[in-house]
A and B are shown apart, each in its own frame.
Chain A
Amino acid sequence: MSERVIFDETGGLESEPRSIYREAAAWFREASSELITSRKAEAEAFFRRIGITFAVYGDEAGAERIIPFDIFPRILSSDEWSRLSEGLEQRVKALNAFIGDVYGAREIVKAGVVPEDLILANPAFRPEMTRIKPTAGLYTHIAGIDLVRTGPDDFFVLEDNARTPSGVSYMMENREAMLRLFPELFGRLRIKPVDQYPDELLATLRSLAPTTASREPTVVVLTPGPFNSAYYEHTFLADRMGVELVEGRDLFVRSNIVYMRTTEGPQRVDVIYRRIDDEFLDPLTFRPDSTLGVPGLMSAYKAGNVTLSNAVGTGVADDKAVYSYMPEIVKFYTGEEPKLANVPTWRCREPDALGYVLANIKDLVVKEVNGSGGYGMLVGPHATKAQRESFAAKVKANPANYIAQPTLALSTIPCFVESGLAPRHVDLRPFVLSGSDKVRIVPGGLTRVALKEGSLVVNSSQGGGTKDTWVIDDAPPRPKGQSRSQRQMN
């Protein structure tokens, strides 16, 4: 691999940091190591105390861990953020239009932009959805778009999460922790708040209620239960929205209407923010062995009596092979050039691309099209020869199942590790809410860090951590004479 310059988002703490990082850099430069250690311990205690834990699949049963939290913040300027959020809105609009088209007329296939077999052979394709029209024609109401950065102006979308993206509770708890730990920095910098997220989520969900719902639609969060790795987040969101957190057994369907069992008897449910995968939603339609879902839910959905959020079958859009077509998809539905770039992607299903990938595997990241969580992938430059060879064999055996991308020189931000502050690679997952009224995006998102030196894998199950993400309101302050209080004093 050729030596590349890695962009550190602070611009370097020793020399002259970028202006948005100046205050934070000064604080950390002046703070004694004891002070920093004590703040770190405080943060750890905070996360333990509130019980924000996750379970690692394959770990010993019942083990609860907290995701490492790094106290050095990630900072974005207003300008950077407004460009990102425009791009995010455009991309999610295109995703929704694409999913609607996939389950509708398939114009994009007729136009020859996306091959049909990519859709029909996709394991996340749900034929049931060709007969179901969700409210407002929206499918992915809550989308998590993973972004990476390689330079001051170079952001790329790495992955679209259109099913049930998680992590938003970390975005909010990270902010809560930082507010406690660094009140002085919050005093000096104008940091855009994120704690309105649950209200915006609730407004989004309510806007999507079926037309048969009452004026005050009943919203619930559907969880697989306490053993799910994201259970904390489910409780957190239900709590902050002030809605019931239900499990499948709390719901039942009668005459195509969904009810929850309450202490006062059955109560109608209008919108279900479900954190259960498609396959488990309804044992009568999908996996018959699922005990997590609700028998009859799909027929109530089909009858238009309940909104599922996200809609069923959104997985067709966050497949990595579909990802590679996203620039064309955005153009096709919005008529505009994509504002957010894709990482260049080779589709191994295409023979030329396959040849290139196999020849250059040591420089590439190769991913399964349906993999997630950092599993089922090979980071060429970091793999051993044997690992590369066995992976290449898998790719050759089933090329359509793989895509490859160049290893980007991902940006870094300093993190506190054993040896002190050291650069670590980061990504960013903003959350995009699409309601029937408008698109809502809370400024920032979840910054994930690859805590292992040189590692590019940020997933919490594989040694990743998180940071708070600050979008600074750095527009120049209004001239004093214009402020209301001044005028009143005149």
Chain B
Amino acid sequence: MLARTADNLFWLSRYVERAESLARILDVALRLATLPSAYAGTSNEWESAIDIAMCRNLFFESNEVADEASVTQFLIDGPNNPSSIRRCIEIARHNARAVRTAITTEMWEILNDAWSELQRQKFKSFTGKDLSRFLAFVKEVSLRFDGAAYRTMLRTDHYWFQRLGMFVERADNTARLLDVKYHVVLPETESVGGGLDYFQWSALLRAVSSLNSYHLIYRGGIRPWLVADFLVRRPEQPRSLISSYENLNRVLDLLSEQYGRQGPSQRLVRKTYAGLQNLDADTLFQTGLHEFLTQFIADNNQLGLAISEQYLQ
């Protein structure tokens, strides 16, 4: 297949996944912001949303304070924000149009409909109800797109590049979410497991749509180290780092099978995947979560670059 087509497929899935993550981040911030500070702590939820989305500098270029109005506006439709939800969907649709023949009609229609819907939305006059309806809509676009890809695409390289984009982006989002939340929830002076972080941790689980599944795996209530364990090491959890890497590893294997040769991406993914499988739980949670996540995010970026160099140019 054309390298440019593969590149478009890869990025189009990344942008759809990113739009969904942004919607989830906003969802959680909205939920926490409504709690009395005795339950939610004193940290600024809106600032932490900006941190997870990795756009602190950009945000404060055009905004004085991080509050509900400024942050939702910025993340959904900020004119100077190249990764706003609106831009993500626009770029995804643009990429899809450029590779219209490489995706199925079902996938195209979902993105094209989402794009037309965006043209109709009047973000300026959003009420709280409009906002939550809009966030639900964005999550649904991603779910439907993923489902359409899963159910309608031929299992050839087209599909594998679509999946690669999705899993690279998802691993990145989960790692950043965990990293930022870990800081917000556990300021240096406070010990793990203090009373008021219960809602913070459960909100984090909600952000990855896993509050219920957490309870199915861990029966003993919400514990910070178990939440981290869940999102890093549990293969049952589809948004965990290890789960994304299990998939990345498999997909890159399938690609090398189809093409009859392998390269740096296959080597990198195997290394990171093995690292996750051999991770020692105690060191991870007591001392090194932040260091670990920083390294993971860097490795994951490296994998994205390697895929690009090996296949997409």
Residues of A near any B CB (own CB < 8 A): 48-51, 225-226, 231, 235, 238-239, 244-247, 249-250, 260-264
Contacts and interface: CB of A to CB of B under 8 A. Distances in A.
30 contacts: A48-B116, A49-B109, A49-B112, A49-B113, A50-B105, A51-B97, A51-B100, A51-B108, A226-B94, A226-B97, A235-B97, A235-B100, A235-B101, A238-B101, A239-B100, A239-B101, A244-B5, A245-B99, A245-B100, A250-B2, A261-B2, A261-B3, A262-B2, A262-B3, A263-B3, A263-B157, A263-B161, A263-B259, A263-B311, A264-B259
Nearest to B4: A250
B216 interface: no
Contacts of A235: 97, 100-101
Contacts of A48: 116
B89 interface: no
A245 B101 contact: yes
B1 A263 contact: yes
Interface residues of B, number: 24
Given A51-B108, A239-B101, A260 B2 contact: yes
A407 to B, nearest CB: 41
B4 A261 contact: yes
A275 to B, nearest CB: 14
B90 to A, nearest CB: 10
Most B Cβ at <10 Å: residue of A50, A51, A260: A51
Contacts of B168: none
B261 to A, nearest CB: 8
A66 to B, nearest CB: 12
Contact of A249 (B4, B5, B94): B4
Contacts of A244: 1-2, 5, 101
Given A247-B4, A262-B3, 18 more contacts: A50-B105, A50-B109, A226-B97, A226-B98, A235-B101, A239-B100, A244-B2, A244-B101, A245-B101, A246-B2, A249-B4, A250-B2, A260-B2, A261-B2, A263-B1, A263-B3, A263-B161, A264-B259
Interface in B83-105: 94, 97-101, 105
B168 to A, nearest CB: 16
Nearest to B157: A263
A168 to B, nearest CB: 16
B112 A51 contact: yes
Interface of B: 1-6, 94, 97-101, 105, 108-109, 112-113, 116, 157, 161, 259, 311-313
A112 B259 CA distance: 60
A249 B4 CA distance: 9
Nearest to B112: A51
A231 B4 CA distance: 17
Nearest to B105: A50
Contacts of A225: 98
B6 A263 contact: yes
A48 B117 CA distance: 12
Contacts of B4: 247, 249-250, 261
A226 B5 CA distance: 13
Nearest to B260: A264
Nearest to A245: B101
Nearest to A240: B101
Contacts of B311: 263
Contacts of A247: 4
A242 to B, nearest CB: 9
Contacts of B94: 226
Contacts of B5: 244
Nearest to A242: B101
Contacts of A249: 4
Contact of A262 (B1, B99, B101, B105): B1
Question: 10 shortest A-B CB distances, which residue pairs?
Answer: A235-B100, A239-B101, A263-B311, A261-B3, A263-B6, A238-B101, A264-B259, A51-B112, A226-B98, A245-B101
Contacts of B112: 49, 51
Contacts of A49: 109, 112-113
Contacts of A239: 100-101
B302 to A, nearest CB: 20
A48 B313 CA distance: 33
Contacts of B1: 244, 262-263
A269 to B, nearest CB: 11
A51 B112 CA distance: 8
Contacts of A261: 2-4, 313
B312 to A, nearest CB: 8
B49 to A, nearest CB: 30
A236 to B, nearest CB: 8
A235 B95 CA distance: 13
Contacts of B313: 261
Contacts of A262: 1-3
Contacts of B113: 49
A192 B101 CA distance: 27
Contacts of B3: 250, 261-263
A238 B311 CA distance: 22
Nearest to B255: A263
Nearest to B93: A51
A51 B101 CA distance: 13
Contacts of A238: 101
B96 to A, nearest CB: 10
A226 B109 CA distance: 17
B193 to A, nearest CB: 49
Contacts of A260: 2
Nearest to B258: A264
Contacts of B100: 51, 235, 239, 245
B86 to A, nearest CB: 14
